[in-house]
Amino acid sequence: MIAEVHYIAALFFVNFILSVVSYPLSGLLFPKFSDRGYAFSALLGWVSVSYIHFLLSTLGILKISLSGSLLSLMIWGGINALIQWKLKPIQISRSILLKVSTANILFLALVIFWTWVRGHNPEIYQIERFMDFGFIQSLMNTESLPLYDMWYSGEILNYYYFGHMIGFEVLTLSNIPMVPGFFVLVVWMFGTVGVGVYRLASEYYLYIFGVKYGKWTSILAGIVGLFLGLFSGTIHSAIWLWSYVNNWLTEAPLESFWYAEPTRFIEGTITEMPIYSFIVADLHAHVWGMFFGIIIFALFLGLWQKKHHRFSLLNIHIIAITISIGLAYITNAWDALTLGAVSMMLLVLLYCMYDLSKFDWRFLTILAIPFGSLAISLPWSYFFEAPLGGIGVVDPASKVYEWSMYWGGFAIILLISGIVFLFQQRLRALKHIKEHSLWYLFGFGGVSAFWLLGYALKSFAIKQGNEGLIGTFLMLIVWAAVIVLAVIWLSDLLFKKVSKRVQLIAGISAGIAIFWILMEHIYFKDILTDGEWFRANTVFKISTQVWIWLSIIIPSLIIYLVTSIKHWGGKLLITLLVVGLLGVHAIYPFKAIAQANTANREFIGFDRGLDWWKNKLPYDYEAYQFLKEYRDALPEDDKVRYIVEADGDSYQDNNMFSIFLGWPSIIGWPVHEWTWHGSYDDVDSKRKDVVELYIGTDIDMSRKLLREYQIDFIILGQVEKRLYEDRGLQTEKLESLGTVIFENAETKIIQIQK
């Protein structure tokens, strides 16, 4: 635990320094937030320093190194110093210091709690941990960008890795080693997301209600948002609870609990709640993407709080939103779709919807924002080739029962809030309909007709085997028309004269509903298209982002429901419903955290993240330690070496040396590489080359392959013997190709002389 105290102290200190350095820009962006944006300043700082370093390294100006990180931090500090000097957005007061202290105490408490949880099970083992570790270790080794692919020798990484670049900055500036640093990043993200969601839920409440119900209610809203965003499970827990209680009453065997089940309950999909991602210590792109959901929703609240709304591309909030969408794209490309779409919709709602005479030029100007975001993404997107194979039609869609077990708790609150709001607006709406009866008859008829046409075209596309491009394209146009017609019609009917507060919440709610609908109608094709999991990646990458949006607005909707219903019976019913839903959602974290991490385990700490390797493949692990010392002794600008090792299936005990050394191997995790490149041909060719090296008898061919891939070391270890010994492993040939520089009972490392 002493080591963990050191890691937490170093992390907290650097995070606090960066939050102070970044506070002027936060104060400029969020002047009406109760803490003037301090809760987001550290996150904005890490993202900005990382992008400065990312950009300048891609241009060849800075190296990926500690010095590059420090220079990027100095540039960022200079920008904020200039902002404070010229504009003075931060004025220190007692209330501000209290908010700053609260944010830091909450961050530290969350970090300590999750350190305790993860310290019971700190294995960097299987699932995406292997890949995420390898990405960050590769960044530790390289001195330039774009980043090389550790599993595709000689090629750049055709995957989004800006989130891992942020992780590199955190560990480098905190001076924390990579193995314990992996879980330090997990707990840092846990604390950062928690603080962000808490503050946003509280600020959205304050924007809608002010202090009408007392300042403590805003704290309650923040706590509910923190729970939903960081700890909440789903209604699926009710299934387990019902079975458990029923079996207990009938003296039958008690129902077992499996913490992964809710994430695979909707057939053919992967739907991870944030708590699940943190339980499995995931540093995958969709988890890093939560940062940008928090940032962009904070920016929209800051934009909505302005008194005057003159649209300009030079508006600091518009600039920040444009940059954030671009950075979301290079962190998790799917978030360019989700956050980009909801941003466009909210901007149109704010600037165009209620003054249709200005719809034309403002709408066209807003469309310029995606081009700005694309420009921001160029240091990565210029080298990226999207491996998608087009758009498909979902067939079959989710079963209502399964969908409800995942999204039902949120959907109930959204639905009831909408019904209550519509009921309260009914008199004004009925009067408006009477005055404009023909318009609303046309609107209702148009929406209904287009809706039916959309289903007809979807059925046509499905009958074409999901390959009917024209049918799919027409379906998308029709669904877009449905959405536009519905939004214009309903907004004119219901929202034209309501407050901006309602417009913001309604716009976000509409965005959530749209993505719920889209996930049930279309998916982006990849290598899984022909199987049962054809839309798994689409749903997986979108659902986590939408979950964060819900955790931000649901607390305000809960308070709206409880306070807007005046009849005591209705108020009691709503209160019981809300408490019941939150209670069911609270079952999951209690059960899952214990089952996955703490139950029947002792706290062993982050330094023992590779103990599984030492215990399972001890001779390979000893060889890794030898090469790690070799790598660490290399000059800072020359830490990359090329290796050949046995490749194998994803998530298995293969490619350990390329993962934990961060050195490129000829091929690794073939299915992942197939997914990233969209073709198996080159992957298959590289796999055959590896087989040829290990079991082929032609020594000249082996020498040719070693030269072609610029191999420095051949790994001949326990994994290679397991895979190739029965197929004619050519040990003597391999040894003759170089010099054995390390050897134990099972593993040899052969260095190739160049």
> 719 with 685: CB under 8 angstroms?
no
pLDDT of residue 159: 93
pLDDT of residue 498: 59
pLDDT of residue 436: 46
SS3 content of the chain, % helix, strand, coil (to 5): 70, 5, 25
> 157 with 669: CB under 8 angstroms?
no
More confident residue, 243 or 472: 243
Best CA proximity match to 621, nearest among 729, 735, 719: 719
**Residue 462 pLDDT > 60:** no
pLDDT in tens, 266-278: 888 889 999 999 9
Residue 655 DSSP SS3: coil
pLDDT of residue 497: 55
pLDDT of residue 563: 85
User: Quick one: average pLDDT of 653-675?
Assistant: 93
Encoded tokens for 71? 């220079």
- In sequence order, the β-bridge partners of residue 748 are 716, 743
User: Quick one: average pLDDT of 97-122?
Assistant: 95
Kindly tell me the sign of the dihedral angle through the C-alpha atoms of 452, 456, 459, 465. negative
Compute the distance between CA of residue 691 and CA of residue 683 in angstroms, rounded to an integer.
13
For residue 396, is the peptide bond before it cis, meaning its omega torsion is within 30 degrees of 0? yes
Single pTM value for the model: 0.91
Could you tell me the pLDDT band of residue 441, with boundaries at 50, 70 and 90? very low
pLDDT, mean over the chain: 86
**Residue 139 pLDDT > 80:** yes
Q: Terminal CA-to-CA distance of the chain, rounded, Å?
A: 45
Compute the distance between CA of residue 231 and CA of residue 276 in angstroms, rounded to an integer.
9
pLDDT of residue 700: 94
Could you tell me the pLDDT band of residue 422, with boundaries at 50, 70 and 90? low
pLDDT of residue 579: 92
Range with the poorest average pLDDT among 194-198, 462-466, 499-503, 615-619: 462-466
**Residue 438 pLDDT > 50:** no
pLDDT in tens, 308-323: 666 677 789 999 999 9
Phi, psi of 740 (to 5 degrees): -75, 110
Percent of the chain surpassing pLDDT 70: 86
pLDDT of residue 19: 97
Compute the distance between CA of residue 624 and CA of residue 626 in angstroms, rounded to an integer.
5
Percent of the chain surpassing pLDDT 90: 59
Q: Using CB atoms within 10 A of its CB, is residue 385 exposed (0-12), middle (13-18) or buried (19+)? A: exposed
Phi, psi of 225 (to 5 degrees): -60, -40
**Residue 676 pLDDT > 80:** yes
**Residue 447 pLDDT > 80:** no
Best CA proximity match to 535, nearest among 234, 260, 265, 267: 267
Could you tell me the pLDDT band of residue 294, with boundaries at 50, 70 and 90? very high
pLDDT of residue 466: 45
Helix (H) or strand (E) holding 224: helix 215-226
pLDDT in tens, 28-78: 999 999 999 999 999 999 999 999 999 999 999 999 999 999 999 999 999
Could you tell me the pLDDT band of residue 643, with boundaries at 50, 70 and 90? very high
Which residues have a Cβ under 8 Å from the Cβ of 69 and sit 6 or more positions away? 49, 53, 169, 172, 173
Q: Using CB atoms within 10 A of its CB, is residue 1 exposed (0-12), middle (13-18) or buried (19+)? A: exposed
User: Quick one: average pLDDT of 111-131?
Assistant: 93
pLDDT of residue 457: 53
- In sequence order, the β-bridge partners of residue 713 are 643, 751
> 341 with 511: CB under 8 angstroms?
yes
pLDDT of residue 353: 58
Compute the distance between CA of residue 653 and CA of residue 617 in angstroms, rounded to an integer.
9
Range with the poorest average pLDDT among 371-380, 475-484, 655-664, 693-702: 475-484
**Residue 652 pLDDT > 70:** yes
Helix (H) or strand (E) holding 418: helix 400-424
pLDDT in tens, 510-563: 889 888 888 888 888 877 777 788 888 888 889 999 999 999 999 999 998 888
**Residue 151 pLDDT > 70:** yes
Range with the poorest average pLDDT among 226-230, 354-358, 633-637: 354-358
Best CA proximity match to 524, nearest among 391, 398, 679: 391
Compute the distance between CA of residue 742 and CA of residue 735 in angstroms, rounded to an integer.
11
Could you tell me the pLDDT band of residue 496, with boundaries at 50, 70 and 90? low
pLDDT of residue 471: 45
User: Quick one: average pLDDT of 448-460?
Assistant: 53
Compute the distance between CA of residue 152 and CA of residue 387 in angstroms, rounded to an integer.
15
pLDDT of residue 535: 87
